[in-house]
Every structure is written in C-alpha cells, then in structure tokens.
Amino acid sequence: MQLVYEDEHLVVLNKPGGVLSVPGRGLDKQDCVLTRLHTTHPTAMVVHRLDMATSGLMVFGLHSDSQRALSMLFEARQVHKQYMAWVNGLLPLAEDWQTIDLPLMADWPNRPLQKVDAEGKPSVTQWRCLKHDLQLNASLLALQPLTGRSHQLRVHLQAIGHPILGDGLYAPHLHSPHGLMLHASELGFPHPFTQVPMQWQSTQPWPL
C-alpha cells in the first residue's frame, strides 16, 4: 500500500488489488486498506471505495470536516476518475470517447452481482481504446465512470461483450495471472479547503 500524498486534511494512496477497502463482516475480513492506514493515520475516514479486486488510487479524509467536504465533491461529480482495464476482444482504436448508457440494479438472487435492467439507476461510462495485445486477443481501455454504481465498469463492459480479464464475478472463464485487470489510474478534484486543483496518476500494475 503506497502513500501518494498527504496533508493535514486528506491522504491519497495506491490500493493493491485483492485487499478490501473497508472491513467486511466476520473476523476474517478485518484486514483492509482502512485498517492498515489507521496504523499510521488513526483518524482516517472513508470517502469512497474500490472493489476488493480493483487496484489504484483512493482518497481518505483525516477529520470529519474533510470527509464531509470530499464526499460532497463526489456527490456533485466534481471528482475526475479514470481507470485502465484490459478487456477481452479487439475494440477499435480511437481518439474519441465512446459512451455506454445502461441502467444498473442489484441482481438480488445472485448478490453481490449487479445487472443491466430498465428499472435500474441511470449509469454512464465513457471508454476509449488505447492499444491491443493480439496474443491475448485483448484491448487496453481508458474508462471514465460518469456515475458511481456498484460494479459499474465491470457490468457495462460485460454488457457490450468485452468483459474485463480476470473478472471472476462477471467472466469466470477469462482467467488472468494478475487477477482483475482494472486499475484506478487517475484521481483529481479541487482541494476541499484551498480549492487548488489536485490530480494524481498511478501506472497500471501489469507488465503489458
């Protein structure tokens, strides 16, 4: 777990894949990013989460006013988030962003899975194909979720026929030695107390 930035109000760090963002239910699910962060920053508070299998950038507030202000930035969609993902199949290389606009809701009989459903909440993802790996029959995508639904990127990409490599929930047949190949690569927002624009980048963790 790599510390990327800190001041008296907030901390930004790089979450490894395979680690929970916050404690789960049961004694075996107490190890998580927040618990580890508390060993050095005991006042750290959760602002947003990444799926256990997802790696990349996360921000934590260091006091209640900071947590509240950061949460409001997320709610107001003033936070820039970009992800990198390797997906199955070869999508067209392009400079322009493409849009997936499909409503999502919980797949209750199969929780924690989510599904596309006309009665679900509006969910929008933008994507752009950056390069191909012909040997893997895979494409590297830049992804920008314009909404923040659970498993949004994973379900949207599955829905268009290009699931993320290593996604044990939505494409269990697509094995990957690197686990889920989804990484939160960019995070940016105006500092909640100084309003100075802040942005961080994190390199994808896979040797591709």
Residue 51 a catalytic site member: yes
Closest CA to 89 of 164, 178, 32: 164
φ/ψ bin of 151: left (φ > 0), alpha (ψ from -120 to 50), beta (otherwise): left
Residue type, 198: M
Q: Which of 51, 96, 101, 107 is catalytic?
A: 51
Give the DSSP per-residue string, 59-124.
EEESSHHHHHHHHHHHHTT--EEEEEEEEES-PPB-SSPEEEE--EEE-GGGTT-EEE-TTSB--E
Using an 8 Å Cβ cutoff, are 114 and 107 in contact? yes
Q: Is 136 helix (H, G, I), strand (E, B) or coil?
A: coil
Q: Are 202 and 57 in contact (CB under 8 A)?
A: yes
The β-bridge partners of 37 are none
Catalytic residues: 51
